[in-house]
Amino acid sequence: MIKAVLFDYNGTLFPDDDINTMAWKATINELSKGKIDADAFYNSFIGTRNYPFVEAMFKRLNMPLDEEQIMYWALRKETEYYQKICLELGRSKMMPGAEELLDYLKERNIPINMCTASLDVNVDFYFKTVGLGRWFDRDRVIYDDGICTDKKEMYRKGAESLGVDIQDCLIFDDSPTSIRNAAVAGCENIVVIKKENNPDIPQIRKKIADFTEFDPKEFGL
């Protein structure tokens, strides 16, 4: 029986794959001054959390692994590129059908939380520009705080924040690595956004193009 729902954000609730790609490639080009092939490097590390992504760039460039500098560039990618691109393109709407599903869950008092690999500054940005406070408790959101090392830990922590077992959660995600981590964490009910690189694992119960294709009643919600 499903008692709670956990949502990934980027690429799942919020369609921003193109923006994230542009932001990372701009960061790679600025930091490396053209010494790193942005396309190849990004494709090799797509889905990686900000700090290890930037750390990998520093290693490739034989730069000293200064934590303060790595964190500076990890944040710069978000504030200088990602957020500005979102604003320039006027992107503030979630995936089609997402708001309706969130309203449905709220009306039925079904516990929900967001588990995202985004940094704190981006979570604040999303709450401000997208209005996530209408559904989510900002203080409960699980994000890349430097403590959780992967989405496996984030999803377990997200379930714990709602007082439920991960086995009793429904998880929505789009990243191959995150989807596998959700399964390893113990989730047996995963719904994924259809993409060419979706993994083939038994825990995936449904694939959707967007939330208009999801019927909560199929999962007893």
Could you report the per-residue pLDDT of 30-60, keeping only the tens digit for each? 999 999 999 999 998 887 889 999 999 999 9
d(CA 74, CA 89): 22
Region 67-82: what's the mean pLDDT? 96
**pLDDT at position 134, please?**
97
Residue 148 confidence (pLDDT) above 90 = no
Beta strands in 139-199 (DSSP E): 169-173, 189-193
Return the bridge partners of 172, or none.
Answer: 7, 191
Burial classification of residue 184, based on how many CB atoms lie within 10 Å of its CB (0-12 exposed, 13-18 middle, 19 or more buried): middle
- Residue 72 above 90 pLDDT? yes
Task: Examine the pLDDT at 220 and tell me if it is beyond 90.
Answer: yes
Q: Reduced to 3 states, what is the DSSP secondary structure of residue 75?
A: helix
pLDDT reported for residue 48: 84
Closest CA to 164 of 215, 113, 103: 113
Q: How confident is the model at residue 203 (pLDDT cuts 50, 70, 90)?
A: very high
Q: Domains of the chain (ranges plus CATH)?
A: 4-15+94-219 (3.40.50.1000), 17-89 (1.10.150)
Burial 129-161 (b: 16+ CB within 10 A, else e): bbebeebbeeeebbbbeeebebbbebbbbbbeb
Between the alpha carbon of residue 125 and those of residues 35, 77, 129, 155, the distances in Å are 31, 14, 6, 21
Share of the chain above pLDDT 70, in %: 100
Averaged pLDDT, 146-158 = 91
What is the per-residue pLDDT for 33? 95
Q: Which residue has the higher pLDDT, 155 or 47?
A: 155
Residue 31 confidence (pLDDT): 97
d(C-alpha 179, C-alpha 175), whole Å: 6
